[in-house]
Amino acid sequence: MNIQFLGAVRTVTGSMHLLTVNDTRILLECGLFQGRRKESFERNRNLPFDPASVDAMVLSHAHIDHSGNIPSLVKNGFRGNIYTTPASRDLCSAMLRDSGHIQESDIRYINKKRARKGQPPLEPLYTVEDATACLGNFVTVGYHRPLPIAPGVTLTFYEAGHILGSAVVVLDIEEEGQKRRLVFTGDLGRKDKPILRDPEPVPDADLFITESTYGDRLHEPIEEAGRILREVIIATYQRGGKVIVPSFAVGRTQELVYALHRLTEARKIPEMPIFVDSPLAVNATEIFRLHPECYDEEVNEFLASGRSRDPFGFYRLTYIRSVERSKELNFLREPAVIISASGMCEAGRILHHLKNNIEDERNTVLIVGWQAPHTLGRRLVERQPVVKIFGEEYRLKAQVVTINGFSAHADRNGLLDYARQLGPERIQAAFVVHGEESSSLALADGLRNLGLNRVTVPKPGETFTL
């Protein structure tokens, strides 16, 4: 058995790991790399293997940095099954088609510039049609339902607690008379987070692949995040400004909506309109409503109390799909909260809201998620005095506040606690992925201190025989 680490290695995006066992090739994740546009386009277009040579794929969850290049995989010859949970498949249906739309829009913009230089047009990475076609390869598997997916390989999903439908991937492998259990965290969530159940530990792990997004730092408590959210809204309201929230359409938006629902119900924030302006977030929220089997006890108790039949809907909240309704927000003069995608401010309607609001010091840009290097979101976090949006320069005069407590990723202690629950003394080899280099190296040191053997931070493209 060997495994090659092809993406999200010493970086966060573009998850992709290729496992070969019993002459069968199984791909774990097929995500989009996100960063500088030219580099991202080239890396995403040139898959580092022949898609037709891959027999099966396993997807831990629907986030685009894990799922976003599946349409390219299928478009270029992959014919196998893509195994994931029912909720992840439903989210991918919305997210991949939305991504296809973005690919088409981006390439139109690029081709206009190329035409002015006399250069030939480029094809999009994939289209909405490609994204729709790849959904036919999906096979859904519930949690705790072992399923043989290849000779000598049985797949079981456990709750990861990261986003709706997210799973810890467990592969029970028998090869040459030897049995081993590989545990891949995908993206691991946090204990006691609202809406979703906690991550489940898995017994008897022999091989361990773990994410490390926050492998070198700790989150502020979830309660502290709620307190800061409340204070930011009150302070901005008192200035007569708007709170502009770039948010991931899946997971973070629903968590924010639920938090705002609770604050509104408790009368802890002023009476002000709240808008979710993102067609993808609207679609994703509908999918959240379809999967109450993923809710934790807190949400179920909230619903059972009779105070609300919908954790993601209340009287001050408006969901916006149409372009016309979105444009009307540009003329809003009263204080408001506007939540919009994309979370790293690289595409989508959030760019219009930032363009129209960051030069007003009454407003607040509220950052509630990790921002990749070289993205507009990272430049806002760094408070660069001038930023470019749609090629135009804008002065950053609005307040910028970052709340790390809403993170859907386990922090250093959460990751180490999870590894401790697996039984460090049994694990024969561990690999640390999905983190900036400093985070991955720091977590690797922590795992060694726990007593794990052979802890490695792979280099891009590196192959290990196990």
CATH of the domain at 381: 3.40.50.10890
Residue pLDDT, tens place only, 271-298? 999 999 999 999 999 999 999 999 999 8
Q: What is the pTM of this model?
A: 0.91
50 and 117 share a domain? yes
User: For position 37, what pLDDT does the model report?
Assistant: 76
183 and 323 share a domain? no
Residue pLDDT, tens place only, 341-352? 999 998 889 999
Q: Do residues 379 and 351 make contact, with C-beta atoms less than 8 angstroms apart?
A: no
Domain of residue 277, residue span: 222-402
171 and 300 share a domain? no
Categorize the per-residue pLDDT at 34 as very low, low, confident or very high, splitting at 50, 70 and 90. confident
Amino acid at 342: S
378 and 436 share a domain? no
99 and 192 share a domain? yes
253 and 194 share a domain? no
Sequence-ordered list of residues with C-beta below 8 angstroms from that of 178, at least 6 positions apart, any chain? none
Asked which of 369, 402, 435 is the last residue of a domain, the reply is 402
User: For position 17, what pLDDT does the model report?
Assistant: 99
Q: How far is CA 352 from CA 100, 335, 347, 436, in A?
A: 20, 17, 10, 29
User: For position 394, what pLDDT does the model report?
Assistant: 98
76 and 136 share a domain? yes
Q: Mean pLDDT over all residues of the chain?
A: 95
362 and 453 share a domain? no
143 and 288 share a domain? no
Q: Is the pLDDT of residue 36 over 80?
A: no
Return the DSSP state at 12: S
174 and 283 share a domain? no
**What would the 3-class secondary structure string for 266-301 be?**
CCCCCCCCEEEECHHHHHHHHHHHHCHHHECHHHHH
131 and 147 share a domain? yes
186 and 331 share a domain? no
Helices marked H in 135-270 — which ranges?
Answer: 222-239, 252-265
User: For position 276, what pLDDT does the model report?
Assistant: 98
Residue pLDDT, tens place only, 392-446? 999 999 999 999 888 899 999 999 999 999 999 999 999 999 999 999 999 999 9
Q: Do residues 8 and 65 make contact, with C-beta atoms less than 8 angstroms apart?
A: yes
User: For position 115, what pLDDT does the model report?
Assistant: 96
User: For position 245, what pLDDT does the model report?
Assistant: 98
Q: Based on the structure, what is the number of domains in the chain? A: 2
Q: Is the pLDDT of residue 240 over 80?
A: yes
Question: Quick check: bond before 99 cis, omega within 30?
Answer: no
Asked which of 358, 385, 402 is the last residue of a domain, the reply is 402
Place of tokens 């390439």: 107
Other C-beta atoms closer than 10 Å to the C-beta of 438 total 13
Residue pLDDT, tens place only, 93-124? 999 999 999 899 889 988 998 999 999 999 99
Q: Do residues 68 and 94 make contact, with C-beta atoms less than 8 angstroms apart?
A: no
Asked which of 370, 402, 434 is the last residue of a domain, the reply is 402
Residue pLDDT, tens place only, 38-49? 788 889 999 999
- Provide long-range contacts, Cβ within 8 A and 24+ apart, for 383-387: 387/358
Residue pLDDT, tens place only, 168-178? 999 999 999 99
Categorize the per-residue pLDDT at 247 as very low, low, confident or very high, splitting at 50, 70 and 90. very high
User: For position 286, what pLDDT does the model report?
Assistant: 95
